[in-house]
Amino acid sequence: MTGSDVTRDGVEEARPEREALTGAHTGRRRRRRGRGERSMVPEARFSSYYGKPILNKPVWKPLDIAGYLYLGGLAGASSLLAAGGQATGRPVLARTAKLGAASAISLSLAALVHDLGRPARFVNMLRVLKPTSPMSVGSWLLAGYAPLTVAAAAADVAGRYRMAGAAATAGAAVVGPAVATYTAVLISDTAVPTWHEGYREMPFVFAGSAASAAAGLGLVGAPAAQAGPARRMAVLGAALELGAFQLMKRRTGLAAEPYEQGRPRTLLRAAEALTAGGAALAALAGRRPGREGRRLPATAGAALLAGSAALRFAVFHAGVVSAEDPKYTVVPQRERLDARGR
Amino acid sequence: MTRGSAAAAGGAGEEAVRANLLFGPQPDVAKAAGYTDTPPRMGFFTDTSVCIGCKACEVACKEWNSVPEDGLELTGMSYDNTQGLGADTWRHVAFIEQRKPLGGQEPGTGHQDVDVFDAARSLGTSASSPGPGATAPTPGSAPVGAPAGEISPVSPDGRTELRWLMSSDVCKHCTHAACLDVCPTGSLFRTEFGTVVVQEDICNGCGYCVPACPYGVIDQRPHDGRVWKCTLCYDRLGVGMEPACAKSCPTDSIQFGPLDELRERAAARVARLHAAGVTDARLYGENPEDGVGGDGAFFLLLDEPEVYGLPPDPVVTTRDLPSMWRHAAVAAASLAALAAVSFARRPR
Ligand code: SF4
Ligand code: SF4
């Protein structure tokens, strides 16, 4: 279609100054494919308004919000490790996890405040409690959880206030799992296709990712004799994270396509390699305790921590991609509409 | 009290209302939001079939609401340089160029064989020339110079020609507004007119409402952090005036009024267009059974919604929220179980 058809007297096909397409021809067509990988979904044809996005994409800063998702998970699962370590007489593991939980949640609050612009805005979050707003529920969760982790860590480091410290540790372990998984609801409760469509599996992905991150921290910080639970948690967490993610990709179809392209794809591959590799090293460290010294568990732990972070960034960026391309909004909705027969 | 009226009315739709307030038809949004004595629900009916793309609405909205300039860009994609709704564009006129004849209109431009002096002499004397002041030929008559028995030829070789579609887009003031549902501060609220408004002194700039809106309406203003969108001129409504955009629209493409009345008017307009052969005409967003419980601002379109940059079948995200919380609760329990298993001593 190079000739103009806005002509008279059959002089169509005269070449315009530059190629300007109109109407049905402006819909964005095929984009570049993931390197060498077969696309999981058939090519989508659709119309759109000059290829402009339908949704307004998230305005969140990636480092702040993906970081927030990651640190919240790390903290939540660490609280479980802390309580377990304390109950089973593994003081170094418990202390590592308590310190980890307290600093991770403080950092995540800092990230949130940085994204909001100023600290007073976090206080404003507690104006109301709205069950329809996961962010409101989450703010209240954090307001309850963060002081518990800090109290638990402080009591441990000070070596005093045993009872209060134990109570805070137990309390943090009760709230921790909710802190680790509510963030999945937070991002799923949006119109962003890749996030919303995955709402069933996303909490499990986040739970697994939180477990593997916390286990990674435990492996880095605790001696081999006390790190047994962290090693098992690493394997279980990695399995849950990677398994739930595969399930999510399979079930959400077109909405999972952004995971296979560009930056999210790179991040996701890194996350898979680091998490699976870290879990394998953790298992290996369990088989040959002490033989490799601190090097093997520390490597495993670092890989798990990095893998969990890469996964959160992959999820974040894939969501942004799906909001920016009208295809992910139009095609499934159009199919749904046509299936209903108008 | 809605419970009482629901019991009285019965019906499947009412069941849906009771079953899940996050989704489905909601006959009285203002009452559901806690108001007791309210005016009728007000809204917009935007009839795009008469829009001339003059952008008076965009300008009037900016003027009345003191909306800042939003980057004077030349996009080169069409006559549309505002591109879409955002923090500083509360009304947006879309310009769509298509290779289709506009239904009921003859876009042929070949008048080479018309003798204009002859045509002028016969002004007002023949049926095909309705006289000074008339702007359209009487129905069924062919223009002077058209081949006998035909309405003017569409194009020399049967090709179709271009048509312009113009449509003034705005916040839909959804019955179930995702932006309002997810706002953690209560900054977004439902007015007594059933519309959705942001209170800029309470907005936290958390940006949660932005990706929640299924229509891509509300957005964050850079350097401000807070979000902005159409208020349906809440300040004007309060004193009995119509919104600035509707007031300024020279063709009445933007109509403002009680939603029930607008729905009737829209149905009549679609019927008229269909009778006139404009079979593409359809309403968008007027159905209370749709994914957002119906829009407070709905449209008459001449093509599929996605052509105008509108989602074909939007669903309020909070419809799935109960299920999301359930999945998250199970996942949280799994995480706790996973930790417990990790600490369980393996049997030797
Ligand atoms: S269109 Fe978007 S911004 Fe407007 S009321 Fe609906 S959800 Fe809110
Ligand atoms: S950005 Fe403002 S209006 Fe939007 S959800 Fe956050 S606090 Fe509410």
Q: Other C-beta atoms within 10 Å of B71: how many?
A: 12
Of the partner residues A121, A136, A185, the one whose CB lies closest to the CB of residue B324: A185
How high is the pLDDT of residue B111?
57
What whole-number distance in Å separates Cα of residue A276 and Cα of residue A282? 10
pLDDT tens for each residue of A33-65 = 444 455 555 566 788 999 999 999 999 999 999
Binary contact (B339, A87; C-beta < 8 A): no
Q: Is the C-beta atom of B147 inside 6 A of ligand 2?
A: no
pLDDT digits (tens, 9 = 90+) for A321-341: 999 999 999 999 999 999 987
- Identify which has the larger pLDDT, B162 or B40: B40
The CA distance from A12 to A7, in Å, is: 5
CA A236 to chain centre: 18
**Closest residue, chain A, to B215 (C-alpha):** A55
Residue B18: predicted pLDDT: 41
Residue A32 confidence (pLDDT): 43
Q: Is the CB of B232 under 6 A from ligand 1?
A: no
Share of chain A above pLDDT 70, in %: 85
Say yes or no: CB of residue B205 within 6 Å of ligand 2.
yes
| Domain presence at residue A139 | yes
pLDDT greater than 80 at residue A248: yes
pLDDT for the residue B79: 83
The reported pLDDT for the residue numbered A291 is 58
- Full domain range(s) for residue A154: 59-317
- Name every chain B residue with its beta carbon within 8 A of the beta carbon of A46: 306
Q: Is A203 within 8 Å of B331 when comparing Cβ atoms?
A: yes
Chain B residues within an 8 Å CB radius of A319: 211
B128 vs B254: which has the higher pLDDT: B254
Query: Is the distance from the beta carbon of residue B188 to the nearest atom of ligand 2 less than 6 Å?
Result: yes
Measure the CA–CA gap between B192 and B72, rounded to whole angstroms: 36
Would residue A34 count as lying in a domain? Answer: no
The residues pairing with A328 across neighbouring beta strands, listed in sequence order, are: none
pLDDT for B154:
44
- Is A270 part of any domain? yes
Cβ(B172) – ligand 1 distance below 6 Å: yes
The predicted-structure confidence for B216-227, as pLDDT tens digits, reads as follows 999 999 888 899
- Asked, for residue A64, whether it belongs to a domain, the answer is yes
**A130 → chain B, closest CA residue:** B184
pLDDT of B138 over the 70 cut: no
Whether residues B328 and A182 touch (CB distance < 8 A) is answered with yes
Which of B244, B216, B249, B230 is CA-nearest to residue B55? Answer: B249
Cβ pair B101, A5 in contact under 8 A = no
Amino acid B12: pLDDT: 41
pLDDT at B123: 63
> HEC profile for chain A?
CCCCCCCCCCCCCCCCCCCCCCHHHHCCCCCCCCCCCCCCCCCCCCCCCCCCCCCCCCCCCHHHHHHHHHHHHHHHHHHHHHHHHHHCCCHHHHHHHHHHHHHHHHHHHHHHHHHHCCCHHHHHCCCCCCCCCHHHHHHHHHHHHHHHHHHHHHHHHHCCCHHHHHHHHHHHHHHHHHHHHHHHHHHHCCCCHHHHHCCCCHHHHHHHHHHHHHHHHHHHHCCCCCCHHHHHHHHHHHHHHHHHHHHHHHHHHHHHHHHHCHHHHHHHHHHHHHHHHHHHHHHHHHHCCCCCCCHHHHHHHHHHHHHHHHHHHHHHHHHHHHHHCCHHHHHHHHHHHHHCCC
Partner residue facing B317 (CB), from A59, A196, A240? A196
Indicate the range of A306-315, B112-121, B203-212, B271-280 predicted with least confidence.
B112-121
pLDDT for the residue numbered B99: 75
Listed in sequence order, the residues at least 6 apart from A150 whose beta carbon sits closer than 8 Å to its beta carbon are: A102, A106
| A252-304 confidence digits (pLDDT tens) | 999 999 999 999 999 999 999 999 999 999 999 887 766 557 889 999 999 99
C-alpha separations of A92 from A62, A115, A171, B2 in Å? 34, 34, 20, 58
| CB B176 near ligand 1, within 6 Å | no
Q: Is residue A160 part of a domain?
A: yes
CB contact under 8 A, B211 and A133: no
For chain A, the residue count is 342
pLDDT exceeds cutoff 50 at B58:
yes
| Chain B environment of A177 (Cβ under 8 Å) | 332-333, 335-336
- Ligand 2 pocket, residue B185 CB under 6 Å: yes
- Please tell me the predicted confidence (pLDDT) of residue B223: 83
**Ligand number, closest to the Cα atom of B293:** 1
pLDDT band at B160 (very low <50, low <70, confident <90, very high): low
Report pLDDT digits (tens) over B278-302.
899 999 999 999 999 999 999 999 9
Residue A127 C-alpha to ligand 1 middle, in angstroms? 22
What spacing in Å lies between the alpha carbon of B172 and ligand 1's midpoint? Answer: 6
Identify the residue whose C-alpha is closest to ligand 1 atom 2: B213
CA A52 to ligand 2 centroid distance, Å? 24
How many angstroms does the Cα of residue A206 sit away from the middle of ligand 2?
Answer: 25
The reported pTM is 0.84
Q: How far apart are CA A4 and CA A135, in angstroms?
A: 52
Q: Are A146 and A106 in contact (CB under 8 A)?
A: yes
> How close B194 comes to chain A (CA, Å)?
19
**pLDDT per position as a tens digit, B65-114:** 999 988 778 888 788 888 899 999 999 999 998 877 655 444 444 555 66
The closest residue, in CA terms, to atom 8 on ligand 2 is: B183
List CB contacts of A297: < 8 A, sequence separation 6 or more: A219, A220, A224, A227, A231, A281, A282, A285
Per-residue tokens: B62? 């900016």
pLDDT at B125: 58
pLDDT of residue B70: 81
For residue A135, what pLDDT is reported?
95
pLDDT of residue B22: 81
Q: How far is B82 from chain A (nearest CA, A)?
A: 11
Do residue A184 and residue B331 have CB atoms under 8 angstroms apart?
A: yes
Lowest average pLDDT, out of A157-161, B13-17, B191-195, goes to B13-17
Q: Report whether pLDDT(B269) > 70.
A: yes
* Cβ–Cβ gap A47/B98 under 8 Å: no
Residue B197 has pLDDT above 70, yes or no: yes
Nearest to A258 by CA among A317, A186, A189, A329: A317
Q: Would the pLDDT of B136 be above 50? A: no
Of A58, A133, A206, the CB nearest to B183: A133
Q: How far apart are CA A23 and CA A49, in angstroms?
A: 9
Whether the pLDDT of residue A79 is over 80: the answer is: yes
Q: What is the CATH number of the domain that holds A277?
A: 1.20.1630.10
Domain contains A36: no
Q: Which residues of chain B lie closer than 8 angstroms to A87, CB-CB?
A: 343
Domain count, chain A: 1
Residue A308: inside a domain:
yes
Q: Which of B336, B331, B347 is nearest to A233 (CA)?
A: B336
Residue A17 in domain? no
Task: ipTM value, please give it.
Answer: 0.88
What pLDDT does A42 receive?
A: 57
